[in-house]
A and B are shown apart, each in its own frame.
Chain A
């Protein structure tokens, strides 16, 4: 954290429907805000695009994990069966690769799955026990039936009054300041 820790994290607008939230996010983006995040009880189609997230890196991480798992799995078996512990059974080939496929496959899936999940956690910066939005009392509704848009204070265009007005104009039910302190 090199940034100066401002006591104001951002302004949080509460919406009743996903449509209002997506419209508000679009509006905020058109108004030039870049640093914002939305909080919704379930994933909403079109919201990532409205906020302007880039494509997720999770698929790439998963792919790399799968490749590493597969190569590692085959390599392990080849090394065991052909190099370090070769057993000559009637002169059969040591690199009996068809017999190595099941374990190679399993380790590919294992590598891809673990890397995908760990990658998702890392990209989402989880575990993260504290976050300023938790200070807002009504925020617990983000896991039930309310939809939130938070325009963050470190946005270069951020101005408390303007942001609040923008959220209100977008039909936010409540507009709350999010403080970064208990």
Chain B
């Protein structure tokens, strides 16, 4: 860190905020990142954090066991609110995952250098978020041991999935997304696993990373095919990530329920997904860089850029809310108008106002450079936005289902202890997996950082 800071509005500030702090060499970036995995002893902080998360995962196990024993009646769902927390949480988690793919694929195609130090853990975040997301529809089916009915397989009953249903599209979209994210992540990890293998001191580390790296030897022939497939995967993952949340929004938009049946849903869901995903990347990046001293690699430039992406996608989301309202009144459809009024004045209006505060009003502070450059402010902001995006899904799912066409079909919904326990449990699972990830695998793509060092050495100043 420099001793004298110029004023924040000075034109040099961008120069002073590199994507990689100067003075790093190939060896220093490799050492620093690999050391987190290979040599650093388990700190008390890691152990305490892991223990806490592990106990929360136990809450998840209890909640799910009780669910399997008693059935979905232990949740707050009822008729007409058949979806409840399970689908709210599903959409929330899958949305969080999207930022990882956006960073690793779209920013790669756009040649954004600042993606390099955040893509690896953002992709890990994607995988863990998709795992948490996938759990919810599965346990929501009530008989999860029959979930395989959703896949097309030649059964003795001679029945096949209904491919005209968005719920089946969802099965294919989410499982494809999970698979492609996993292989994209693994391909990216391959050279780094080889790096760890080469640097490992203990026999068990050499064996584990040796097996995982599959004999990668940094050969030019390897890199030749590797770069080709990496670029192609980025190109494939880009439309994929857009399609996944589009398909998730079809779960709602294809139904004729008031408040769901709108064409703004796909783009507004995708923007919301990226919005919450970037918030989650910040939530993870800020403690991670602090705990492992990675401030040289995850610089203020990264935080600033992510804040800007949040601001931009937040505005798209705000536009989505506006269009929902506008179209409700413009259409003149009395059910849509009624639903819009219910959001403002109905029994769940406090959720709607909280959502507006979290997702639209608070993020406007990100226009100010002072806020974008304050690490604690960004951390708080990221938590607020994640809460806001959860509330958004709650508003969409619950308000529409409680205020259907006929007053006789109206209802009320309130979550039970087990709903909250399951949500909390998946947060624990997600965090626990992240804890394991930072100790088991390089949280920053080492080979890409070396490439960045080479690049920075060649193009001093031009950016």
Contact = CB atoms under 8 A, between A and B. Distances in A.
A41 B447 contact: yes
A113 to B, nearest CB: 5
A92 to B, nearest CB: 9
A175 interface: no
A16 to B, nearest CB: 10
How many B residues are at the interface, by size bracket? 35 or more
A77 B161 CA distance: 9
Given A113-B179, A143-B195, A41 B229 contact: no
Interface hub of A40, A41, A99, A134 (most chain B Cβ within 10 A): A41
Interface string A34-66: 000111111110011001010011110010001
Interface stretch (A80-88, A153-161, A162-170): A80-88
A119 B224 CA distance: 13
B111 to A, nearest CB: 13
A126 to B, nearest CB: 5
Contacts of A103: 163, 168-169, 172
Interface in B174-214: 176, 179-180, 183-184, 186-187, 191, 194-195, 197-199, 210, 214
B228 A58 contact: yes
A124 B152 contact: no
Interface string B29-57: 01000000000000000000000000000
B222 interface: yes
The interface residues of chain B, by DSSP majority, are classed as helix
Contact of B229 (A44, A99, A120, A131): A120
A181 interface: no
Interface string A10-52: 0000000010000000000000000001111111100110010
B217 interface: yes
Contacts of B237: 109, 113
A43 B198 contact: no
B4 interface: no
Contacts of A131: 215, 217
Contacts of B240: 106, 109
B225 interface: yes
Contacts, number: 184
A112 B236 contact: yes
A80 B152 CA distance: 9
A96 B227 CA distance: 39
B447 A126 contact: no
B349 interface: no
Nearest to A48: B224
A38 B217 CA distance: 10
Nearest to A145: B26
Contacts of A57: 225
Interface string A116-129: 11011101101111
Interface stretch (B90-98, B388-396, B425-433, B448-456): B448-456
B218 A40 contact: yes
Contacts of B220: 37-40, 44, 47-48, 51, 53
A41 B228 contact: no
Nearest to B250: A102
A121 B27 contact: no
Given A85-B159, A99-B164, A62 B229 contact: yes
Contacts of B232: 58-59, 62, 112, 116
A114 interface: yes
B176 A106 contact: yes
A2 interface: no
B176 A110 contact: yes
Contact of B221 (A62, A80, A107, A124): A124
A124 B166 CA distance: 39
B173 interface: yes
A56 B219 CA distance: 14
A149 to B, nearest CB: 9
B226 interface: yes
Contacts of B218: 39-41, 142-143
Contact of B27 (A77, A87, A124, A145): A145
B247 interface: yes
A50 B93 CA distance: 46
Interface hub of B176, B229, B233, B450 (most chain A Cβ within 10 A): B229
B191 A106 contact: no
Interface string B429-460: 00000000000000000011011001000000
Nearest to A69: B176
A10 to B, nearest CB: 12
A59 to B, nearest CB: 6
Contact of A102 (B172, B186, B194): B172
A115 B249 CA distance: 29
B374 interface: no
Contact of B228 (A59, A107, A140): A59
Given A109-B240, A130-B215, A42 B229 contact: no
B225 A123 contact: yes
B66 interface: no
A109 B187 contact: no
A37 B221 contact: yes
List of 8 A-B pairs having minimum Cβ-Cβ separation, nearest first:
A145-B26, A127-B214, A128-B215, A38-B220, A80-B160, A140-B198, A120-B229, A43-B223
19 contacts: A41-B30, A41-B450, A48-B220, A53-B220, A80-B161, A81-B164, A100-B163, A103-B169, A109-B176, A109-B239, A117-B183, A119-B229, A126-B215, A127-B214, A130-B215, A142-B217, A144-B195, A144-B199, A145-B27
Interface of B: 25-27, 30, 152, 158-164, 166, 168-169, 172-173, 176, 179-180, 183-184, 186-187, 191, 194-195, 197-199, 210, 214-229, 232-233, 236-237, 239-240, 243, 247, 250, 447-448, 450-451, 454
Given A38-B220, A39-B220, A109-B240, 8 more contacts: A41-B450, A42-B223, A42-B448, A53-B220, A87-B162, A119-B229, A130-B215, A131-B215
